[in-house]
Amino acid sequence: MPVFHTKTIEGILEPVAQQVERLVILHEEAEDGNAMPDLERPVQAVSSAVTNLIKVGKETINSSEDAILKQDMPVALHRVENASKLLVEASSMLKADPYSGPARKKLIEGARGILQGTSALLLCFDESEVRKIIRECRKVLDYLAVAEVIETMEDLVQFVKDLSPCLTKLSRDVDAREKDLTHQFHREILVRCLEQVKTLAPILICSMKMLIQIMVKRGKGEAEAAANRNYVEQRMTDEINEIIRVLQLTTYDEDEWD
């Protein structure tokens, strides 16, 4: 059962999560505990890494235009910073008394805090990346909405020129996202929807071209051709809306998994 919803987050947090879990178990089993070694150097290494994260995090916040990231990321950074302070306190207490029970508790609390804060930060960043992909999806949806007012070949050529790069970017981004997800069910939906979008795109252009040709020649079947174009456009819209929905899913759904 995957705990982290992307392989990127899993790769960063899973090893440290296992280590912290092991420490908690050892702490519980050893009760009074052995004398703790001097942890000043490894705690200093964590503090330096946290200081760097705070710096990088603040730069990310300042350069981002994502209002939700600007609101959520400082909270996560604060959590990591507080946890780091707990580790420094624990290290200092253990130096004075290597058997100190409260120091051990503080050490575990600090390590857990680092894990939770880093997890919150990665989630916040990940959600922001997902919102970027969704913006690309919405761009395509906006172009699809224009399909119904295209009535000349010149406009159709321009429509294809505008739509193509957006579709390419959507396809590349969703494909990369799908590969990073740990939820097999969500991955399968994204693959299916993306394939549909890729298949339907040339069919849509073809249906638009046919309609324009009928309109120019004032031939029969204009209503049917328009209905066909609208049908293909609606199907593409539905597939992209489904992609948007699945991109936003992060929680593990046991029923779906089963």
Partner 1 sequence: EMILEACKSIAAATSALVKAASAAQRELV
Give me the residues that bind partner 1 (CB under 8 A), please: 8, 12-13, 15-16, 19-20, 22-23, 26-27, 29-30, 33-37, 39, 42-43, 45-46, 48-50, 52-53, 56-57, 59-60, 80, 87, 107, 111, 114-115, 118, 121-122, 125
b/e code 28-41 from CB counts within 10 Å (16+ = b): eeeeeeeebeebee
Q: Residue 54 Cβ, how far from partner 1 at the closest point, in Å?
A: 9
Cβ-based nearer residue to partner 1, 28 or 255:
28
Cβ-based nearer residue to partner 1, 46 or 137:
46
What sign has the CA pseudo-torsion 72, 73, 76, 81?
A: negative
What sign has the CA pseudo-torsion 221, 222, 228, 229?
A: positive
Give the angle subtended at the CA of 167 by the CAs of 166 and 168, to the nearest 5°.
Answer: 90
Cβ-based nearer residue to partner 1, 39 or 240:
39
Q: What are 256's two structure tokens?
A: 């779906």
Residue by residue, DSSP assigns 17-38 as HHHHHHHHHHHHHHTT-PPPPP
Cβ-based nearer residue to partner 1, 91 or 228:
91
Q: How far apart are CA 147 and CA 156, in angstroms?
A: 8
Cβ-based nearer residue to partner 1, 27 or 198:
27
3-state secondary structure of 6: strand
β-partners of residue 181 are 6
Q: What are 57's two structure tokens?
A: 């995090």
Q: Residue 94 Cβ, how far from partner 1 at the closest point, in Å?
A: 9
Cβ-based nearer residue to partner 1, 56 or 206:
56
Q: Residue 153 Cβ, how far from partner 1 at the closest point, in Å?
A: 43
3-state secondary structure of 106: helix
Q: Residue 201 Cβ, how far from partner 1 at the closest point, in Å?
A: 30
- What residue has token string 């909405």? 145
Q: Residue 65 Cβ, how far from partner 1 at the closest point, in Å?
A: 16
Q: Residue 227 Cβ, how far from partner 1 at the closest point, in Å?
A: 46
Cβ-based nearer residue to partner 1, 2 or 33:
33
| Integer angstrom CA distances of residue 68 from 4, 65, 85 | 21, 9, 27
| CA 10 to chain centroid | 12
Q: Residue 252 Cβ, how far from partner 1 at the closest point, in Å?
A: 21
